[in-house]
Amino acid sequence: MESKRQINEVDDSLSVLIDELRNSIERRLLSETPMPATRCIFKVPDKIRLKKPQAYEPDIVSIGPYHSGPNGNSGNKFRLMENVKHWYLHCLLSRVNITLAGLILGVMDLDKRARDYYAEPLDHLKKKDFLDMMVLDGCFLIELFRKGPHHSDINDPVYSVSCTMEYLYHDLILLENQLPWFVLERLYNLTAVENTTRQGNAPSLFDLVLTFFTKIIPNKRVLRPKRPHKILHILDVIRAVIVAPFEAPPKEERKDRELPQTIPNVTTLSKAGIQFQKGSSGCILDINFKNGVFTIPPLPFDETTEPLFRNLIAFEQCHHKRRHKITSYAVLMESCIDSSKDIDLLCDRQILGNWLSAQDAAQFFNLLYNDTTVDGFYYQGLCAKVNEYYNSKWNKWMGMLWRDYLDTPWTIISLIAAFILLVLTTLQTVYTMNQYYHPPK
């Protein structure tokens, strides 16, 4: 009987433990996916961030929830721009026919939809605080874009302090520092009663953003592309402008989940007779190889080039609908560039506009896409053509001939003169021998 009672007690305690565990687990079950397809504003993965943390973090202004509030990094470095945000909102309200209450009411229904754009949970933000952030940050951006990059106002710290605009270019392209595009458009439409063009039509928010970022967008000749079907945020606008003119190769040339094919660096290719020319298409992705000529559009360098590319690549790595076009470009350029010699050659061909040292630029390309993946490498077919040309012995021999003996007009003249001299000497020798063996009768 005693053993039976002990068994019952064990069964009872086991039952209690199971009930406690069941209740604990049930409380943590999720009825909805933790990462809906709408997520498009991400925290940069730690593996990518560690390569260069400052390329992903704002310097002077926080936009959105990730770097503001109790869970963000807000502090003294954002204080000035927080004051500017409040001043810009006041200036905006003083010109438009809508009150602050009307503005808040106009975006109140966007709370849930906007939250769903952020990959990180925002449970710590009450609806009041989230709406406050949307209105304040959104109106700051709209007022900034309406003023444009060349506005002049000595009372405005954005324009009176020369370095501020450079910091803003950096901060507003960060993946973690974004607002949903539909929030910006709603605020823009609610306040769009002024700022018309000479034709009487107010410019679109899309056009204002492109005008503001003209300086840092590499595609200098294609800054008025057709607006994409769906825009997610400002970084997505800049990516769309860069990739829109790019004619992607056929899908059979881009095999998903396959390691990208590499090619020798440009110095090695040049020694094999491959020539490098500056492309003229205006789209940096429009790289071609034909008949031994590698055509690469020029890529200018400035302070924002590295953070722009790093954040575009991080965005492509995180978002399921943005194909790895910028990442493919980074992989190809990293394959082409190993050292400062490669940078010097590309600068000499005016393909790279380099304000950094050649060594710094080489390191930039070498580390740009580390710890990322490439899903569907867009230059697979191009790399195959380059390797086929490079591995041809005839092409290598011809390349050596041109590089070592025909690289200047004087060497060509010398070679021709030597050839003529050789022919004349041979003819003279043949004539002399002919005279010896067949003397005239």
Mean pLDDT score of the chain, rounded to an integer?
Answer: 85
- DSSP conformational letter for 175: T
- DSSP conformational letter for 203: P
Q: Are 97 and 193 in contact (CB under 8 A)?
A: yes
CA distances from 19 to 9, 11, 27, 28, 196 (A): 15, 12, 12, 15, 67
| pLDDT tens column, 130-145 | 999 999 999 999 999 9
Q: Which of 82-96, 283-297, 368-382 has the lowest mean pLDDT?
A: 368-382
Query: How much is the CA Rg of the chain, to the nearest whole Å?
Result: 31
Share of the chain above pLDDT 90, in %: 53
Please name which of 431, 420, 329, 307 lies closest in space to residue 374, comparing C-alpha atoms: 329
Q: What is the pLDDT of residue 191?
A: 94
CB hemisphere CA count around 15 (13 angstroms):
6
Is pLDDT above 70 for 235? Answer: yes
CA distances from 75 to 61, 71, 79, 83 (A): 10, 11, 6, 13
Cβ-Cβ contacts under 8 Å for 21 (sequence gap 6 or more) = none
Task: Give the whole-angstrom CA distance, residue 16 versus residue 385.
Answer: 69
| pLDDT tens column, 171-214 | 999 999 999 999 999 999 999 865 444 455 788 999 999 999 99
**Most confident among 29-38, 230-239, 428-437 (mean pLDDT):** 230-239
Task: Give the whole-angstrom CA distance, residue 300 versus residue 356.
Answer: 11
Which residue ranges make up each domain of the chain? 1-31, 46-243, 262-395, 408-437
Q: What is the pLDDT of residue 202?
A: 80
Global pTM reads: 0.83
Q: Are 379 and 287 in contact (CB under 8 A)?
A: yes
Q: What is the pLDDT of residue 430?
A: 67
| pLDDT tens column, 377-422 | 999 999 999 999 998 755 555 555 555 555 556 565 666 766 777 7
Cβ-Cβ contacts under 8 Å for 187 (sequence gap 6 or more) = 103, 106, 107, 134, 135, 138, 139, 142
Please name which of 41, 323, 77, 331 lies closest in space to residue 174, comparing C-alpha atoms: 41
Q: What is the pLDDT of residue 273?
A: 86
Q: Are 191 and 103 in contact (CB under 8 A)?
A: yes
Is pLDDT above 90 for 441? Answer: no
Q: Are 66 and 116 in contact (CB under 8 A)?
A: no
Q: What mean pLDDT is predicted for residues 200-229?
A: 79
pLDDT grade for 70, boundaries at 50, 70 and 90: very low
